[in-house]
Amino acid sequence: MLILPAIDLYNGRCVRLTQGEFSTRKEYKILPAEMAALFADKGFKHLHVVDLEGAENGAICNWDSIRSILSESRLKIQIGGGIRKTDDIDKLLALGAERIILGSVASNSLDFTKKLLLEYGKERIVIAADFKDDSVLHTGWKKGNNMSPLFFIESLHKMGFEYFLSTDIRRDGVLKGPNTDYYESILRKLPDLKLIASGGISSLDDIRRLKRSDLFGAIVGKAIYENRIPLDELVKI
C-alpha cells in the first residue's frame, strides 16, 4: 500500500481542515516546498497535494506553491483542487505532476470526464469520490451529486477509470480512525479498483489496518502535522 503524505494549500500555506469546513482552517508555519522536501528527505516517494482555495473557488489559486512543490522532482505527486480545464491539466503535467485528481468535473459532467480519459489515459487521472452520509460531495465539499459513493465509483470504473480517492468527510481531520469497513465493502464489490483511502487516520495502527484491506494507497495529513505519527516510522510501513 502506498503512503501518500498530504499538503493542503490555502493562501500559499500548508493548512488542515476539520470535516472540510474552511472555518476550522489551521495554518502551519512550514512552507509547502519545505514540507515536500522534508517528505522526500525522509524517504517518501509519493505526495498528495490539494489546492483548497481552488476547490472552494472553482479554479486553481495556488500556482506559485504548486510550482515550488512540483520542483521537488524526487516525489511522484498527485494533485487536485479546482481543476476544471484541459489547459490546467496540461500545465500541471508539464510541471511534473504524475496524476490529476478530478472531483467536481467527474460529478458534473460524465461526458467531459470520459473525453479526459481518452485524452490523458487512466494512468494520469484519479477520480475523487469524497462522501458524507452516503452522498458524494464536490466543489470544496459544498455540493452533492445525489449519488452514493459505490454507485458513483462503479459508474466511473465501468467507463475505464482505475484510480479512485475516497474521503469520509465526517472523519476528515478529526483523528478518530478511518472508515475501514467502507473501503473493504467497496473492494469486495470492485476488487481490481486502485482505491486510495483518506480521512481519520490518527496512528500507525490505523494505517496497518488499512494495509490489511488491500487498498492501493492511504493519505496521511493532520496526524503528521499534529505530530501524532512520526515520519521515520510512517515511511517504513
Joined together, the cell numbers standing for residue 185 give: 465493502
28 within 8 A of 65, measured Cβ to Cβ: no
Angle formed at CA 146 by CA 148 and CA 141, multiple of 5 degrees: 90
Active site residue 8: yes
Active-site residue (options: 8, 168, 172, 206): 8
Contact partners, residue 196, CB within 8 Å, separation at least 6: 2, 4, 126, 163, 164, 165, 166, 215, 216, 217, 218, 219
Active site residue 130: yes
Distance CA 172, CA 157 (A): 24
DSSP letters, 49-79, are EEEHHHHHHTS---HHHHHHHHT-TTSEEEE
Active-site residue (options: 64, 90, 130, 172): 130
> Buried b / exposed e across 89-107, counting CB within 10 Å, b at 16+?
bebbbeebbbbbbbbbbbb
DSSP letters, 190-211, are -TT-EEEEES---SHHHHHHHH
Distance CA 201, CA 228 (A): 10
Q: Please report which helix (H) or strand (E) contains residue 117, including its range.
A: helix 110-120
- Residues recognised as catalytic: 8, 130
